[in-house]
Amino acid sequence: MMKRRAFITLAAGTAAWPFAARGQQHAKLPTIGLLGAATPATWGLFIAAFVRRLLELGWIEGRTITIEYRWAEGRDERFAEIAAEFVRLKVDVIVTAGAAVVAAKQATSLIPIVFAVASDLVGAGLVASLVRPGGNVTGLSTQLSDLAGKRLELLREIVPSLRQLAILSNASYPATVLEMAEVQAMARTIGLEVTTLEIRRAEDIAHAFQTLKGHAKALYVCSDPLTTAHRVRINTLALAARLPMMYGVREHVEAGGLISYGPNFPDLWRHAGDLVDKILRGAKPGEIPVEQPTKFDLVINLTTAIALGLDVPPTLLARADEVIE
């Protein structure tokens, strides 16, 4: 299963480049500027779902539409640069996700912007409201912080004796700051002792684990581009510390984490294709309501559970959308 997913991801990521190059020959075609926060390999499944949905709606890449791909490769400072380039290219719509949405919004108030994944939209000033966004931005909300309570419930099913919880969060990423606050509140409500580990860059990760010194029995990782990019390192350190780990996105579990529960990202990107279709056919983004996730995935890595000496309840395994063995 893992090898097949890796192949699909690679194929989806590399297939984009010939189309991107060919698209430059069709300047008159409607153009999508796709600002990728990570790499083609990391986002391969997401982009494949997006492009497939456009195809179903009649938009054929390289024939009836052009997609200009740009990749920040995990470097946030690239967001503004890429967004400015799309403004110069006069693309018809910008598609992106996460913190890159803010950079795109700062670059233009005229070009429609569709986000496939984002959090705290009203708080960040991206939309006036979820029902009527106003302005030039619309898309799909991840509700990451809203799921904190559910994730803690799932974690306690695997670790019934849990009393001490560590929360790892990127303190420079607004959405994860909100998520950490929600996790703290929910954890204390159910009587857990909480230790917070704040990071801002990759170099902070190892030090954060060193500060724990055995004062936690499980780890909740708030999802953002930084923790996702360094998920293997986080999982390695957590395993060395014998910490069961809960995540919001499945990529962490595919890389050796224990359990994740959150929106299905390919499904969100698929729905982003619907929104782009509406905009290219004349709809105003400010009048298209922000959508909420409808599909959620529970993923469990049984190999990691065994390595941690955990017995995953059969009832939980039965509810999982995917079990990695």
Block residue for tokens 């395993």: 239
Asked whether residue 20 is domain-assigned, the answer is: yes
Judge if 119 and 214 occupy the same domain. Answer: no
Q: Answer with the one of 247, 279, 309 that is the final residue of a domain.
A: 247
Residue type, 165: L
Block residue for tokens 């949405």: 101
Residue with the larger pLDDT of the pair 275 and 7: 275
Residue type, 198: E
Q: Report the pLDDT averaged over residues 62-68.
A: 96
Q: Report the pLDDT averaged over residues 306-311.
A: 96
Asked whether residue 61 is domain-assigned, the answer is: yes
- Tens of pLDDT, residues 284-302: 999 999 998 989 999 999 9
Give the phi and the psi of residue 168 in degrees, each rounded to 5.
Answer: -100, 125
Q: Of the candidates 139, 78, 137, which has an alpha carbon nearest to the alpha carbon of residue 110? A: 137
Asked whether residue 303 is domain-assigned, the answer is: no
Reply yes or no on whether the pLDDT at 9 is more than 80.
no
Judge if 6 and 122 occupy the same domain. Answer: yes
Asked whether residue 34 is domain-assigned, the answer is: yes
Q: Which domain holds residue 165?
A: 145-247
Return d(Cα 317, Cα 315) in angstroms, integer.
6
Strand, helix or coil at 160?
coil
Output the average pLDDT for the chain: 89
Judge if 100 and 199 occupy the same domain. Answer: no
Judge if 124 and 271 occupy the same domain. Answer: yes
pLDDT band at 172; cut points 50, 70, 90: confident
Asked whether residue 301 is domain-assigned, the answer is: no
Domain count of the chain? 2
Judge if 59 and 109 occupy the same domain. Answer: yes
Judge if 53 and 113 occupy the same domain. Answer: yes
Q: pTM of the entire structure?
A: 0.80
Judge if 154 and 131 occupy the same domain. Answer: no
Beta bridge partner(s), residue 94: 33, 113
Reply yes or no on whether the pLDDT at 10 is more than 60.
no
Residue type, 53: R
Asked whether residue 314 is domain-assigned, the answer is: no
The residue ranges of DSSP E strands in the chain, in sequence order, are: 31-36, 66-71, 93-96, 113-118, 137-141, 164-170, 193-199, 218-221, 245-247, 259-263, 296-301, 322-324
**Residues composing the chain:** 325
Asked whether residue 178 is domain-assigned, the answer is: yes
- CA-based torsion, 231, 233, 239, 243: positive or negative: negative
Judge if 138 and 21 occupy the same domain. Answer: yes
- Tens of pLDDT, residues 17-61: 444 444 444 457 999 999 998 888 878 899 999 999 999 999 999
Judge if 178 and 276 occupy the same domain. Answer: no
> Among the listed ranges 141-145, 258-262, 315-319, which one has the minimum average pLDDT value?
141-145
Reply yes or no on whether the pLDDT at 6 is more than 70.
no
> Among the listed ranges 12-26, 202-216, 254-268, 291-305, which one has the minimum average pLDDT value?
12-26
User: Which tokens hold the place of 272?
Assistant: 């982003």
Asked whether residue 67 is domain-assigned, the answer is: yes
- Tens of pLDDT, residues 185-207: 999 999 999 999 999 999 999 99
Return d(Cα 187, Cα 171) in angstroms, integer.
19
Return d(Cα 8, Cα 200) in angstroms, integer.
32
CATH code, 43: 3.40.50.2300
Block residue for tokens 């890449």: 61
Judge if 108 and 131 occupy the same domain. Answer: yes
Kind of pairing between the strands at 193-199 and 218-221: unpaired
Judge if 74 and 160 occupy the same domain. Answer: no
Judge if 165 and 277 occupy the same domain. Answer: no
